[in-house]
């Protein structure tokens, strides 16, 4: 089944404790993105990647890192999480620049 998977689905952590949210897609898509979704603000793009080793900042990249060492994986790294990074995070992938974007199921992160 074609899908985007994220892990973990739920995470509660404390300020400053480094964490990684994994994202994997099995559709051989070139493009992958990370978004955060907050009430009243909608989805905001954090980072995106156009191919292996090619990444660029979205609208809200501060406090986040990404890497794209393999085509299928695009982990999101929070080196020192803070409470304002409490949010619902989505990973997405698509096969081309104007192709349909497929979203993962989301990761709900709480930073205390």
Partner 1 sequence: QKEVEQDPGPLSVPEGAIVSLNCTYSNSAFQYFMWYRQYSRKGPELLMYTYSSGNKEDGRFTAQVDKSSKYISLFIRDSQPSDSATYLCAMSVYGQNFVFGPGTRLSVLP
Q: Which position has the token pair 């989301």?
A: 106
Binding string to partner 1 for residues 70 to 99, with x set by CB under 8 A, is what? --------------------x-x----xx-
> What's the burial of 47, exposed, middle or buried (CB within 10 Å: 0-12/13-18/19+)?
buried
Of residues 23 and 78, the one with the C-beta less far from partner 1: 23
**With left for phi above 0 and alpha for psi between -120 and 50, is residue 94 left, alpha or beta?**
beta
Nearest approach in angstroms of CB 109 to partner 1 is 15
Residue among 43, 107, 49 at smallest CA distance from 81: 107
Of residues 86 and 101, the one with the C-beta less far from partner 1: 101
Of residues 32 and 78, the one with the C-beta less far from partner 1: 32
Stretch that binds partner 1, among 14-22, 29-37, 68-76, 77-85 (CB under 8 A): 29-37
Of residues 65 and 108, the one with the C-beta less far from partner 1: 108
Count Cβ atoms below 10 Å from residue 31 Cβ, excluding itself.
Answer: 19
- Cα–Cα–Cα angle for 77, 50, 25, nearest 5°? 65
Under the criterion CB under 8 A, does residue 101 sit at the interface with partner 1? Answer: yes
């Amino acid at each position: 089944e074609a899908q985007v998977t994220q892990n973990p689905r739920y995470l509660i952590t404390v300020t400053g404790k480094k964490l990684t949210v994994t994202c994997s897609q099995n559709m051989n898509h070139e493009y992958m993105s990370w978004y955060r979704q907050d009430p009243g603000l909608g989805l905001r793009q954090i980072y995106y990647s156009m191919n292996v080793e090619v990444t660029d900042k979205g609208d809200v990249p501060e406090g986040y890192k990404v890497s794209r060492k393999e085509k299928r994986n695009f982990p999101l790294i929070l080196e020192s999480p803070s409470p304002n990074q409490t949010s619902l995070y989505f990973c997405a992938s698509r096969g081309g620049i104007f192709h349909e974007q497929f979203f993962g199921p989301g990761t709900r992160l709480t930073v205390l």
